[in-house]
Amino acid sequence: MRILKMYTSNINDRFMNEIIDTLRNGGIIIYPTDTLYAIGCNALNNNAIERICKLKGINPQRTNLSIICSDISQASQYARIDNNAYKLLRDNLPGAFTFILPAASTLPKVFKGRKTVGVRVPDNVIAREIASQLGNPILTTSIECDDPDDACNPQAIAMKYERDVDLVIDGGYGDITPSTIIDCTDSAEPEIIREGKGILI
């Protein structure tokens, strides 16, 4: 496992190339978002997704899976976004939100049978740049740490997951508050199903 120090004010192109190569080759990374640090992989790589599900003890048939996108345009390729949902996303992204949207058929087979997907466009340059350069979303799930102080410390996170992931991107201390989750499957009446860091406009 390697640790790459990355600054939001100055994206290191060499490190970014290494991150993208790792994801394209089925690797797993830990990276910063605008909320918790997250575990991620190429959202179009079934083997990598299954590896993350096993690591987190997730049953993808029963658990909502989320993707991080570079922008709403990328999100629209993998989720169905109608006019009401588009306005809500446009007014609140990038930001600390997960929007539950109807899934598109372009998602890989691990999503088959699931009618929804969680979509994030975080207010974090590193996370968005990874999705942008990868050319498709990152499957994402939050890290788990027993000590809240460790959950925001990339060095402590790296020690916990050193046998489980290929790269850790140290983007500085993170947050310990998760995203706000909004169910937009009925976009005319979106419903907040978890209060988190984000405050809807």
pLDDT band at 64 (very low <50, low <70, confident <90, very high): confident
Residue burial 178-199, b: 16+ Cβ < 10 Å; e: rest: bbbbbbbeebeebeeeeebbbe
Residue 113 has pLDDT above 80, yes or no: no
- The predicted model gives 78-93 an average pLDDT of 98
pLDDT recorded at residue 146: 82
pLDDT recorded at residue 92: 98
Residue 139 has pLDDT above 90, yes or no: yes
Q: What is the sign, positive or negative, of the torsion defined by CA atoms of 36, 164, 154, 16?
A: negative
pLDDT band at 112 (very low <50, low <70, confident <90, very high): confident
pLDDT tens per residue, range 161-201: 999 999 999 999 999 999 999 999 999 999 999 999 999 98
pLDDT tens per residue, range 6-60: 998 989 999 999 999 999 999 999 999 999 999 999 999 999 999 999 999 988 8
d(CA 144, CA 161): 10
The class of domain 2-194 in CATH terms is alpha beta
d(CA 79, CA 76): 5
- The whole-model pTM stands at 0.95
What burial class does residue 109 get, using C-beta atoms within 10 Å of its C-beta: 0-12 exposed, 13-18 middle, 19+ buried?
A: exposed
